[in-house]
């Protein structure tokens, strides 16, 4: 019997009317005390469930209410911690168009080492001949080592020899990107850039 069981047993005994009709060791009181203690503990655990970042028991319900997994993440297997992180971001993240906002999204999606380049200045554009058109473009650099998938002997005949890229991440960032901009994705390995 736990301390909480003892507390509920004592509480139930004090609520009984006085007299010889009730035995101190009545099994009904012990059974009720145990049930009340379990309900109390369950309520305590539900207090933790109120936070989407820690939710386990109610995570499916939270995800349904928040429209998760969204179309970008529907085919991606996620651990419970990743689901909690995405749910927390959906519920608590305030939108934005800043570089910090998009870096936070990349971190949530599992790419804290990703970088962002903005081409607002002519000296930083991939092709200065484009002039001021580059100010509407920006690039997300995701380390190529993160998701390289080479062709194997069990791959389909028409599979590429090597595939890189993270479609789910690209989908999320493209969905959040400001409508007047165009985002490019690169998967650099060392000094090489593989744009997507």
- Percentage of residues in the chain having pLDDT higher than 90: 12
Distance CA 183, CA 142 (A): 13
For residues 195 and 108, membership in a common domain is answered with yes
Residue 44 pLDDT > 70, yes or no? Answer: yes
Distance CA 188, CA 132 (A): 25
Instruction: Using alpha carbons, select from 87, 78, 32 the residue that is nearest to residue 54.
Output: 87
- Residue 86 pLDDT class (50, 70, 90 cuts): confident
Distance CA 136, CA 125 (A): 11
For residues 77 and 172, membership in a common domain is answered with no
For residues 139 and 166, membership in a common domain is answered with yes
Residues paired with 16 in a beta bridge: none
Q: Which range marks the domain in which residue 58 is found? A: 52-92
For residues 15 and 100, membership in a common domain is answered with no
Distance CA 139, CA 115 (A): 8
For residues 149 and 186, membership in a common domain is answered with yes
Distance CA 3, CA 130 (A): 74
For residues 85 and 98, membership in a common domain is answered with no
- pTM, 2 dp: 0.56
Task: Give the chain's domain count.
Answer: 3
Residue 179 pLDDT > 90, yes or no? Answer: no
For residues 117 and 189, membership in a common domain is answered with yes
For residues 56 and 100, membership in a common domain is answered with no
């Amino acid at each position: 019997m736990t301390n909480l069981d003892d507390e509920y047993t004592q509480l139930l005994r004090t609520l009984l009317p006085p007299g010889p009709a009730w035995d101190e060791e009545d099994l009904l009181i012990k059974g009720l005390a145990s049930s009340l203690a379990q309900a109390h503990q369950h309520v305590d655990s539900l207090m933790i469930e109120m936070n989407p970042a820690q939710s386990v028991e109610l995570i499916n319900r939270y995800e349904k209410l928040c429209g998760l997994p969204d179309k970008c993440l529907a085919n991606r297997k996620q651990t419970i911690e990743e689901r909690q992180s995405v749910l927390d971001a959906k519920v608590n993240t305030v939108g934005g168009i800043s570089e910090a906002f998009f870096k936070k999204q990349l971190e949530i999606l599992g790419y804290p080492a990703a970088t962002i380049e903005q081409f607002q200045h002519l000296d930083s554009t991939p092709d200065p001949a484009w002039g001021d058109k580059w100010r509407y473009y920006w690039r997300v650099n995701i380390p190529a080592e993160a998701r390289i998938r080479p062709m194997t002997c069990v791959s389909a005949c028409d599979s590429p020899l090597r595939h890189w890229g993270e479609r789910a991440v690209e989908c999320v960032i493209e969905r959040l990107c400001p409508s007047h901009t165009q985002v490019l994705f690169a998967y650099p390995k060392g000094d090489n850039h593989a744009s997507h």
